[in-house]
Amino acid sequence: MKSPRPTHPYVQTDEGWLYLAVLLDLFSRRIVGWAMDKRMTRALTLRALHMAAQRRRPPKGLIHHTDQGSQYASGDYQRALGSRGVVCSMSRAGDCFDNSVAESFFATIKKECISRIHFATHTEAYDAIASYIDGFYNPVRRHSTLQNVSPIDYERAIATVRQAA
């Protein structure tokens, strides 16, 4: 498993902005952790990290790559990584190419979900985005970089190959 990539878009609702933080597995392009909140805080990114850790149970030494955002550089976030034996790697300031896979995901979710729907409430946005990530993007949406299969199907295919070897 390669490093998860955190990042976040902003979602407009009639109740105000809603922020989405995700952790993306670079190997399979699967969203392994995500969280949403009314504010962009350390707590938001920590919830996404916690979800990823619960879902994946990463081995010690996993490299977790992030940008230099204050939420990811915070002592709380760094301690959460360290307590799991995860090694933090940060981009240099202004290095936009380091985050291209995550930015591609956000362009995709904006085009396929967020910009297509007017969200009256935070709950509507949360439900639509949760359904998109866990009900479509991970199990169904095909990726050209994954031999035109979904992230979940790609992981299953690789696991089958490894078990046969």
Distance CA 72, CA 92 (A): 13
Q: Characterize the bridge pairing of strands 16-25 and 10-13.
A: antiparallel
Q: What is the pLDDT of residues 46-77, one digit of tens each?
A: 999 999 999 999 889 988 887 777 888 889 98
Question: Which class is 4-164 in CATH?
Answer: alpha beta
Q: What is the pLDDT of residues 78-127, one digit of tens each?
A: 999 999 999 888 766 655 556 778 888 999 999 999 999 999 999 999 99
pTM of the model: 0.86
What are the residue ranges spanned by the domains of the chain?
4-164
Distance CA 51, CA 34 (A): 7
- The token pair that represents 100 in the structure block: 């291209």
